A and B are shown apart, each in its own frame.
Chain A
């Protein structure tokens, strides 16, 4: 593997990690696996498309505003009702919401997809140690690193962050101690949405084309990564999503062209093998939990 392969792999891993954190933050406070997180990413991309022709900073603001508004709207009208429901019910419910939003996008924008462009300058490459690196690769890595560090600081150093961590460990106890449910949950959704917005922008820069399954095609592998890493901890979930992104990109470079069409199969097969060996998660601490918590 050369430097180029490794950098590309880290960049895709970083994108998946951003998706993974967004999902895991919400899962932590609500035990809800949000399939509609993918549609937040899609909504961001469509917002960029509709704001086409505006200055880049303005369309990016529109993108973030749309994503955050949609996340809060979904939380208010759909997910709030699901609080305390069985995990399986919540899982299918968010799957239904995700499918509903995808079909609405299909109805509104059509199945063929649309061109969309933002910050095209980031696709230019520069020389680094004899290889061509695109700026967006570095920006993806830097943005992810900054957001992950920011999240860690927020959760570790602020009072609201502490409340979120408390809620993630034991929601009822946290409520009894005065943690405000609605605030903590809405905040988790907003943080997740901001990350989804970043993913929209970063992916649109690289592939300037949006279709109704835009977000779902990123969410599903990232979500599988979250499960591989261990869904009940933020750090393991993020690492798991990163690993699946890294493996996908690296395998894609290593495989011969006749095998590259089976890239998804190889990655998922790897996932199944890993789960066979480490059912509680690749990065979960070595201890046997015998009772299902999630």
Chain B
């Protein structure tokens, strides 16, 4: 019996995410948090993949959608009674609003998508490289506004007392939803046309592909996914500052995507899970850890050096990432395809 390749291509990353969720659920409470983080980061990286993987344009701005989703979902779910004291400057309507968990996730997705649509309308007109650099401006604006405008959030303080509703189940489900949406987009007409434009912009245009329109569409969808992932993040952390959703997270998520392989969903998931595992381990090693009868005690900050070096090495020696940017396929199916292509 032949399994349609599309099912396998979605099933492989989905099974990985479920496996992480199950293993994480059985791990000791102190390690559970690392698994939850890995799943939430996977959701962010999947949102990044949805745009970068299909369009071939790098985005440094996705963390701004994550930040918007996180702060919107955080501010609207903190109980009214505590908001009066912790966030006294809020607009009255934000002061009054108290959303349920699911509503706040949807709000994060909606706002992320809206911001992506608005800024994308301007930035996606640029050529690929210029668009990538210009997305930094979006990150700059979001960070700057969140840091200083206390009518909409905590400003430079920590946003705390956010209900910690992202448990292992919700993190897994969230990452699965993000994966399904990103995969669905990739199989859609717009996704296929966008990938054609990634491979050869001139040829795609010559055959009637409206690159701007499809880039904007992908940017909006992935912005919504990023906002959704941001909402998951804030409900996992329970408290958040603007610095946590800024340059370091931008680097970390891009590194995950690139190390895994930017042009496949499998690559995004594998990269996110592997690098997140490594990151958690290095974070512990900075505080001293005992591994295989060797005491590892790294100096503070070496985590980022290792990750930076790893990302640079992967880019220099295997620019398509660990997965080679391919989706999962059975060895047999791959053989058959190669035979058909006459190689």
Contacts and interface: CB of A to CB of B under 8 A. Distances in A.
B201 interface: yes
Contact of A103 (B122, B132, B308, B319): B308
B129 A100 contact: no
A224 B134 contact: yes
A97 B58 contact: no
A227 B134 contact: yes
A88 interface: yes
A271 B136 CA distance: 11
A268 B3 CA distance: 50
B126 A268 contact: no
A143 interface: no
Interface residues of B, dominant DSSP: helix
A294 B128 contact: yes
Interface in A225-247: 226-228, 231
A92 B130 contact: no
Contact of B201 (A273, A281, A291): A291
Nearest to B206: A291
A170 interface: no
Interface residues of A, dominant DSSP: helix
A275 B251 contact: no
A179 B195 CA distance: 36
A209 interface: no
A91 B132 contact: yes
Report the interface size class on chain B: 35 or more
A107 interface: yes
B145 interface: yes
Interface residues of A, number: 51
Nearest to B252: A99
**A85, A99, A100, A107 interface centre (most CB from chain B within 10 Å):** A99
A103 B140 contact: no
Interface string B228-256: 00000000000000000000000100110
Given A224-B134, A275-B122, A95 B251 contact: yes
Given A262-B148, A294-B130, A106 B304 contact: yes
Given A103-B305, A262-B148, A276-B125, A291 B136 contact: no
A81 interface: yes
A262 B145 contact: yes
Interface in B114-158: 119, 121-123, 125-130, 132-134, 136-138, 140-141, 144-145, 148-149
Interface stretch (B79-87, B310-318, B327-335): B310-318
21 contacts: A82-B316, A87-B129, A92-B58, A93-B316, A93-B319, A99-B311, A102-B304, A106-B301, A107-B301, A111-B301, A224-B133, A231-B129, A231-B133, A262-B145, A265-B145, A268-B140, A271-B137, A272-B137, A273-B122, A275-B123, A279-B125
